[in-house]
A = this chain, B = another copy of it.
Amino acid sequence: MQDRTSPALDVALAYFEAWTSKDMGSAMAYVADDVVCDAPAGRIEGADAYRAFLGPFTEILVEARLIAAFGDAETALVMYDTRTRPVDDAPAAECVTVRDGRIVASRFIFDRAPFDAARAAASAAH
């Protein structure tokens, strides 16, 4: 299902394997210092901000499973399911641009609604 001749996909999959294993050090080795990520809540610029975005997610991550992954020389597109502590079924998709073995740009899509609902329910319970 994957084109193994895609260097961008190789990077995207290595990055996926690292962050879903909660190995933030290895994950960030695939992220460029000047990465630009367009995520549901807005634009994230730079590796420090990106790590501050991804790190907390890995802390609530229970498991992740790849749904599909494709790529070419510079672009990779992946879709995966995650199970998280607040939300049982939280799929996401990422389109990454890779240069010199690192992700320089990312478009990231997931549904914030169930996370917002879980947060509201937790607040109401306190």
Q: How many protomers of this protein does the assembly include?
A: 2
Q: Cβ of A110 < 8 Å from any Cβ of B? A: yes
Per-residue contact bits, chain A 91-108, to B (CB 8 Å; 1 contact, 0 not): 111010000000000010
Note all chain B residues with C-beta closer than 8 A to A70. 3, 70-72, 77
Q: Cβ of A67 < 8 Å from any Cβ of B? A: yes
Is there contact, CB below 8 Å, between A109 and B107? no
Q: How far is the CB of A114 from chain B (nearest CB, A)?
A: 8
The residue of chain B having its C-beta at the shortest distance from the C-beta of A70 within the complex is: B70
The residue of chain B having its C-beta at the shortest distance from the C-beta of A111 within the complex is: B40
Tell me, in angstroms, the Cα distance from A96 to B3 when the chains sit together.
Answer: 17
Within 8 A of B (CB), among A17-45: 38, 40
